[in-house]
Amino acid sequence: MIRRAFALSAAVALAACQATAGTYDLKNNAGAAAGTVTLTEAPKGVLIKVEATGLTPGWHGLHLHEKADCSKSDFTSAGGHTHGGGDRIHGLLNPDANETGDLPNLWAGADGTAKAEVFTTLVTLKTLKDSDGSSVLIHAAADDHKSQPIGGAGARVACAEVK
């Protein structure tokens, strides 16, 4: 009886974890596999784990975008950064407030691979998985966290649809 109750509790806990997490495929501009993004709901935000390949070595902007649409090769189909309403503008270092799509930069090593976990308190999985979803974008260059509209991060080089 106790084993059955424990097994049931474990199954419920596992189902709850699966409902609050998801892994999404990153693709590059040619449509080829470029890694994964895992989003996990936390009590006060979302933990984002990125494992990317095929990047140029160095820093890359990492942002949340407003649509789950990576269909165009330049990823402009993903729209702009998630915004969060109000008078928010881009930049983690901008004193005038953050867009909800603002995230720290991602570092790619000499072999073009990048692995990172970042946390944001500006979104939830529910807001990211709204009616049109969202996407996680990696840019060609670093985000300076101040310049408008995207911190000088340049072209979009990898995209994951969050539905």
What is the pLDDT at residue 89?
82
57-78 tens-digit pLDDT: 999 999 999 999 999 999 999 9
pTM: 0.85
Q: How far apart are CA 140 and CA 122, in angstroms?
A: 24
Q: Which residues contact 48 (CB under 8 A, 6 or more apart)?
A: 37, 38, 39, 103, 117, 118, 119, 120, 136
What is the pLDDT at residue 13?
42
Q: What's the whole-number mean pLDDT along residues 40-44?
A: 95
Tokens, residue 29: 């501009």
What average pLDDT does the chain have? 87
CATH topology assigned to domain 22-162? Immunoglobulin-like (2.60.40)
A 10 A CB-CB count for 74 gives 11
What is the pLDDT at residue 91?
86
10-34 tens-digit pLDDT: 444 433 444 478 999 999 999 999 9
What is the pLDDT at residue 14?
39
What is the pLDDT at residue 75?
97
What is the pLDDT at residue 111?
98
* Domain range summary for the chain, segments of one domain joined by +: 22-162
